[in-house]
């Protein structure tokens, strides 16, 4: 059980219930996380609502998003996030070996662009103040500036979610596998 109580859907204001419901079910099996987020309906409305809007827009290809999120979650050793995003990464074409070894020097099945996204996620997580201009030149060869902004935002948000989930000890939903 998390370090705070669960907030059920009938306990949140009506205007955020659709966000609660959708995030818990359609976006992914994030029920335990949304039950904690629901303590602050404004955060549920805006932060989780923003993730749902990104999901609907699908501006950033899911493969690269999942590479970034699994990378950050592996760096931060967030079992909750890995258990949710590793299967998504596999759904978007990564092998289980790639997910498992995503922080290695070479990654099974990764091409140059996959490695660029992985390396960018590592740099944003660990050395954001030292990212070289060449990295952005390389990213601009494959992504629009709008996509680069979203990728950076999602990498940084993932670090937030890693800390939020682990600090509050949010449990992994039944049926998901915890791995690192």
Residues 56-101: pLDDT tens digits?
999 999 999 999 999 999 999 999 999 999 999 999 999 999 999 9
- What stretches of 44-144 show up as alpha helix (H) in DSSP? 49-57, 62-75, 79-91, 96-100, 112-126, 133-140
Q: How far apart are CA 124 and CA 68, in angstroms?
A: 10
In this predicted structure, the answer to whether residue 135 has a pLDDT above a threshold of 90 is: yes
In a domain, 173, yes or no: no
Taking the model in full, what pTM does it have?
0.95
- What pLDDT band is residue 178 in, cutting at 50, 70 and 90? low
Query: What CATH number does residue 76 fall under?
Result: 1.20.1290.10
Beta-carbon count within 10 A of 42 CB:
9
Residues 17-65: pLDDT tens digits?
999 999 998 888 899 999 999 999 999 999 999 999 999 999 999 999 9
Domain identity same for 82 and 101? yes
Domain end: 38, 57, 76, which one?
57
In a domain, 2, yes or no: no
Domain identity same for 106 and 87? yes
pLDDT of residue 179: 60
Q: Which domain holds residue 19?
A: 9-57
Domain identity same for 39 and 102? no
Q: How far apart are CA 178 and CA 162, in angstroms?
A: 14
Residues 136-147: pLDDT tens digits?
999 999 999 999
Domain identity same for 24 and 52? yes
Q: What is the CA radius of gyration of the chain?
A: 16
Rounded to 5 degrees, what angle do the CA atoms 96, 102, 105 make?
Answer: 130
In SS3 terms, 65-84 reads as: HHHHHHHHHHHCCCHHHHHH
Domain identity same for 156 and 97? yes
């Amino acid at each position: 059980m998390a370090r705070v109580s669960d907030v059920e859907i009938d306990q949140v204001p009506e205007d955020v219930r659709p966000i609660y419901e959708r995030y818990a079910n359609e976006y992914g099996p994030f029920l335990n996380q949304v039950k904690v987020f629901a303590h602050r309906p404004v955060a549920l409305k805006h932060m989780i609502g923003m993730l749902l809007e990104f999901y609907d827009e699908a501006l950033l290809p899911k493969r690269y998003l999942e590479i970034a999120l699994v990378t950050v979650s592996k760096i931060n050793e967030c079992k909750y996030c890995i258990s949710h995003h590793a299967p998504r990464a596999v759904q978007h074409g990564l092998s289980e070996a790639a997910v498992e070894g995503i922080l290695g020097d070479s990654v099974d099945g990764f091409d140059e662009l996959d490695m660029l996204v992985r390396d960018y996620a590592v740099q944003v997580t660990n050395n954001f103040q030292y990212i070289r201009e060449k990295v952005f030149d390389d990213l601009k060869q494959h992504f629009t500036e709008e996509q680069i902004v979203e990728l950076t935002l999602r990498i940084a948000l993932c670090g937030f979610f890693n800390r939020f989930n682990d600090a509050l000890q949010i449990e992994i939903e039944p049926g998901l596998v915890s791995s690192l």
